[in-house]
Structure 1
Amino acid sequence: MVDDDMLFDDDETPAPAASAQPWEILIVDDEQAVHQVTELVMSDFEFDGRRVHFTHCYSGTEARTRLAEPGQFALILLDVVMESEHAGLELVRYIREELGDRNVRIVLRTGQPGQAPQAVVLKTYDINDYREKTELTHAKLSTVFYSSLRAYRDLMRLERARLGLRRSVDAITQVCDSDNLRHFCSAVLEQASALLGHAAEGICASRLSAYAAARQAGRLQVLAVTPAYAGLQLEESLERLPAPVRAAFVRCMAERADHDGPRYYACYYRTREGNESLLYMSFSEPVPAEGRELLGLFAANVAITYEKLLAREEAQATHSAIIHILGAALESRSAAAGGHVERVGEIAAMLGQAVDMPEGAVRQLRQAAPLHDIGHAGIPDAILNQPGPLDAEQRARMQGHSDIGWHMLSRSQQPVLKLAARIAHEHHERWDGAGYPQGLRGAHISLAARITALADFVDAMVSPRCYRPPHTLQHALDEVREGSGSRFDPALANLLLQNTDYLHNLYRRHPPS
């Protein structure tokens, strides 16, 4: 006789620990003896290092109740004739069609082969094998168990791979939706945890090259953490990280490569400019090889996105700095109080958020609004700083700054500067059409210009001028209320008046000088 172990030797993966979850087997049969013999003969069976656990049902009706939750069992040994001649076949249809469980392996067993001919049953019903009840020897049952469980295992591997791919695509999508580096890193941690479908904790860190970040001197800095590491401060140094994380990051940076263990994964990526990003994830249970491979693919895609986002943030920071310097330079030669352009940008951004502008649009508005008076560059100092009323000629010259600003900025194709050009051109237009230079009315004035007009008016009122002292914030708000519907967009004026706490806090932090 051929030895069963030789017959079913397989190139399986090494056996996991004895605590591995057993294969769940359901026996559905109205004969008690069939249950007893099957469990007795197969009690010591193992496959892939996992033993088997049996659940017993004695009718099709009882099995329906037990199977109400799909995905519990790897293999069902099913009698054909029980409370009715076709109870087993009806249960097969229920499992496959009503429950939609295509993965569980179903082996029909019958003591009356003529009652349900094999050829007809195999053709008509979605079953995986057909056996007679007399086949109750260890060798016969082992054949059924090995073939069924091997097929179930491979199906589940494919299912996990499919779900993993879907989670990977979803994760990358969520990560790429982040519009700044810290949000990006938080999304990476969240999605890396979701990727494998079970809990994980982690830290995302970065080390900019010495050239790119002289102020950090090339130090590693924490950018985002999960709750388990909430005690760490953002921008924490390498020396203060928990020992396992520090050791993993040191090894990553030394080897310039990812590495992993049974319960953690450490990812390393170095950009062309020498900036380094690191990700450490620890898991509550061992991560299988395919899971670590999936994390590696995810990390590689994240790294590419990280590099692009880092470059974009550096460009935006440079852009913002140039705009700020330009606005401050213009402010220094006008009658405006210190910090005026910065505060106008902040108030405009607050109003942009209040009208539900997208985050990117709010960011552009914060950068563009400070350039509303860039046309002052073309106005003589004597007019800008005259400590008294302007005559008609001077007033006409002063009003020309809107056109000057438009011509200065509209030649650029950069979105922020194009927005700033329109703001510069329209921020002295009025809701009732009595403004300048075009006499635009109502919604024909761009939203960004209507917002900036309000922000500019409030800050100009509370700031000292060479020809008058500052007004109180309350006086400025009363003037806004008075001008709602004539000078200002009434909806925006109402939003501003609903956010007086914001304005009080802003002027406490950045008082006009």
Structure 2
Amino acid sequence: MLDDELVFASDEITDSVLAPDAYWRLLVVDDEVEVHHVTRLVLQDFIFDGRALAIEFASSAHEAREILAKDTEQEIAVAMIDVVMESAHAGLDLIRWTRDELKNHTIRIILRTGQPGEAPEENVIRDYDINDYKNKTELTALRLKTTVFAALRGYRDIRLIQRHQIGLEKIIGATSQFIECDSLTEFASTILKHISVILNIKSSHIICCAVAKEVGKNKPTRIKVLAETSNVDNSTDRRSNPLTRAIEQRIAVALEQKSTIHEKDYFVGYFTTKRGTENILYVEDGKPLDAVQHHLLDFFANNIAVAHENLKLRVEIKESQKELSYLIGEAVEMRSKETGSHVKRVAYLSYCLAKLYGLSEEEAELIKLASPLHDVGKVGIPDHILNKPGKHDEEERNAMQTHARIGFDMLAKSDNPILKLGAHIAHEHHENWDGSGYPRGLAGYDIHVAGRISAVADVFDALGSKRCYKNSWEEADILAYFEQEKGKKFEPKLVELLLDNLEEFLIVRRRYPDPVCE
């Protein structure tokens, strides 16, 4: 009776004091009540890796199946299973069901039998996926504890490997999303989102920083916060500086040492790229970060460095392509006594029209980059025709119209997507919706959508622009012209979008004004 009182007293302490994640779950499956009592008594003060045991009991294989079926997260670390219960092989059937039906290969299974003849050790070890075999008569208190120690070590190590595997799989998945990011802001936000997933934490303080090189002997290193998630509301906050003095000091140490810092309650990832760019990833959780989380953060930081470098290169290439497109367009406009602002306005007007038309961001951006090339073929037109102050005669007009074909021939051979689209725009921005345009007399949807859009943007800006040799049209006259040419020169839908959103297009004109003529 004294033993029972001690057992139940210990059980009450275990249930009331220990937090859910502060113990190892042990399942004892045996139809002998005395086995339950003895197991509880021997293991009541058991501690492994700073965690106690939470022992659960089942008196039959059927009852054990109900418990195991509910353990969807496979948190039961060890199961000690008897062989003979409601049938001579109930325990063995339970083991096979656990491994084959539940697909639970994490739980450590110890077969404990009082009737070795029903389950010969050699046959059971060979035919069943168990981790240990014990005869009840040989299980002294010391051997029982030793057996549980060994089983828990196996379970712990398997779970550790699983956490690494799951974390690395998440890192690989996150890296593929980094590749698709088009901006540093999007890239940094993706980092924030995935770190919480990889570390399996619901709230944390995560800061992604880009570090500028020191620009002078006595000038401090500048740290640009790309994105930050607060440990209070887990939301990005750009209104205030998230770098507290403590965080700044920790980052400063990492920069000075040029190495990653692993501390119990925070992580400062320092990583550089081949071009020498320094970056910092700061992670702090409300509770200590364990070794697995630190290890995963190391891997993640390395992937971030590579992805960040690739993104910056893409951004630089994209900016270079944009500048080249503008420079070519401006060079053409200067030769024909136009201004460079015209090509910029056409670019942004085309982008606005493309978005309103329903094209994707990627398609609209590509049209913006290619539309400045609409008149590139004018480089092949003689100056006396290109800059003639009066009207062209028929021969001169025919020569002038060849700029569409010349522009296409210049750009079409390139594999660059901007230049390839520029070829369509150069070739078709003088085609008319009703088929009366040039050079091929295309009509309707046979005209490339980029050509239809650029035509509206080009004419709208040209009519509203003042030149040294002409005045700009009044707004009312421009609107009347587009109403008149709707369905003739221009696609009706594009004209309607222009007129319905006129203020948006006028803002573009005001943002990029022409220089004053002298």
Asked if TM exceeds 0.5, the reply is: yes
SS of 1:146's partner is helix
Q: Which residue of 2 aligns with 1:190?
A: 193
Is the 8 Å Cα contact of residues 336 and 460 (structure 1) preserved in structure 2? no
The structure-2 alpha-carbon separation of the partners of 1:79 and 1:353, relative to structure 1 and needing over 3 Å to count, comes to: farther
**Which of the residues 336, 345, 349 maps onto 1:343?**
345
Deviation for aligned residue 1:110: 2.7
Is the 8 Å Cα contact of residues 207 and 218 (structure 1) preserved in structure 2? yes
Is the 8 Å Cα contact of residues 388 and 467 (structure 1) preserved in structure 2? no
**Which of the residues 94, 97, 101 maps onto 2:100?**
97
Is the 8 Å Cα contact of residues 349 and 508 (structure 2) preserved in structure 1? no
Matches within 5 A, 1:91-170: 91-170=94-173
Is the 8 Å Cα contact of residues 201 and 227 (structure 1) preserved in structure 2? yes
Alignment partners' CA distance in 1, 2:401 and 2:222: 51
The structure-2 alpha-carbon separation of the partners of 1:80 and 1:352, relative to structure 1 and needing over 3 Å to count, comes to: farther
1:78-105 deviation digits (Å, cap 9, x = unpaired):
2223333333233223211221111101
TM-score (norm 1): 0.81
**Which of the residues 297, 306, 309 maps onto 2:308?**
306
SS of 1:39's partner is helix
The structure-2 alpha-carbon separation of the partners of 1:22 and 1:177, relative to structure 1 and needing over 3 Å to count, comes to: same
Q: Which residue of 2 aligns with 1:207?
A: 211
Deviation for aligned residue 1:174: 1.6
Deviation for aligned residue 1:279: 1.6
Alignment partners' CA distance in 2, 1:480 and 1:64: 78
The structure-2 alpha-carbon separation of the partners of 1:210 and 1:259, relative to structure 1 and needing over 3 Å to count, comes to: closer
Deviation for aligned residue 1:54: 0.7
1:449-485 deviation digits (Å, cap 9, x = unpaired):
33323433444455567276144475466356434xx
Deviation for aligned residue 1:191: 2.3
Is the 8 Å Cα contact of residues 498 and 505 (structure 2) preserved in structure 1? no
Alignment partners' CA distance in 1, 2:253 and 2:501: 47
The structure-2 alpha-carbon separation of the partners of 1:480 and 1:97, relative to structure 1 and needing over 3 Å to count, comes to: farther
Deviation for aligned residue 1:334: 5.2
The structure-2 alpha-carbon separation of the partners of 1:64 and 1:219, relative to structure 1 and needing over 3 Å to count, comes to: same
The structure-2 alpha-carbon separation of the partners of 1:266 and 1:474, relative to structure 1 and needing over 3 Å to count, comes to: farther
Is structure 2 residue 484 aligned with structure 1 residue 482? no
Alignment partners' CA distance in 2, 1:189 and 1:92: 42
Over the aligned positions, Cα root-mean-square deviation in angstroms equals: 3.5
Q: Which residue of 1 aligns with 2:35?
A: 34
Matches within 5 A, 1:50-89: 50-68=51-69, 69-70=71-72, 71-89=74-92
Alignment partners' CA distance in 2, 1:282 and 1:502: 47
Is structure 2 residue 235 aligned with structure 1 residue 233? no
- Bigger CA drift: 405-414 or 28-37? 405-414
Report the identity percentage. 38
Is the 8 Å Cα contact of residues 26 and 73 (structure 1) preserved in structure 2? yes
Instruction: Give the number of aligned pairs.
Output: 484
The structure-2 alpha-carbon separation of the partners of 1:457 and 1:198, relative to structure 1 and needing over 3 Å to count, comes to: same
Is the 8 Å Cα contact of residues 486 and 495 (structure 2) preserved in structure 1? no
Q: Which residue of 1 aligns with 2:11?
A: none
Alignment partners' CA distance in 1, 2:92 and 2:445: 70
Alignment partners' CA distance in 2, 1:112 and 1:500: 92
Alignment partners' CA distance in 2, 1:208 and 1:439: 55
- Bigger CA drift: 352-361 or 90-99? 352-361
The structure-2 alpha-carbon separation of the partners of 1:126 and 1:350, relative to structure 1 and needing over 3 Å to count, comes to: farther
Alignment partners' CA distance in 1, 2:413 and 2:121: 81
1:324-366 deviation digits (Å, cap 9, x = unpaired):
3443454456586884322322243345456776655443321
1:225-256 deviation digits (Å, cap 9, x = unpaired):
2254857538x87xx72223312221222222
Structure 1 gaps, min length 5: 1-17
Alignment partners' CA distance in 1, 2:484 and 2:462: 12
Alignment partners' CA distance in 1, 2:498 and 2:263: 52
**Which of the residues 365, 368, 374 maps onto 2:367?**
365
**Which of the residues 179, 182, 187 maps onto 2:182?**
179
Q: Which residue of 2 aligns with 1:375?
A: 377
SS of 1:82's partner is coil
1:420-473 deviation digits (Å, cap 9, x = unpaired):
233212222345544322334556544433332343344445556727614447
SS of 1:182's partner is helix
Deviation for aligned residue 1:159: 1.4
Q: Which residue of 2 aligns with 1:12?
A: none
SS of 1:366's partner is helix
Q: Which residue of 2 aligns with 1:456?
A: 458
Deviation for aligned residue 1:145: 0.4
SS of 2:269's partner is strand
Alignment partners' CA distance in 1, 2:455 and 2:426: 10
Is structure 2 residue 262 aligned with structure 1 residue 260? yes
TM-score (norm 2): 0.81
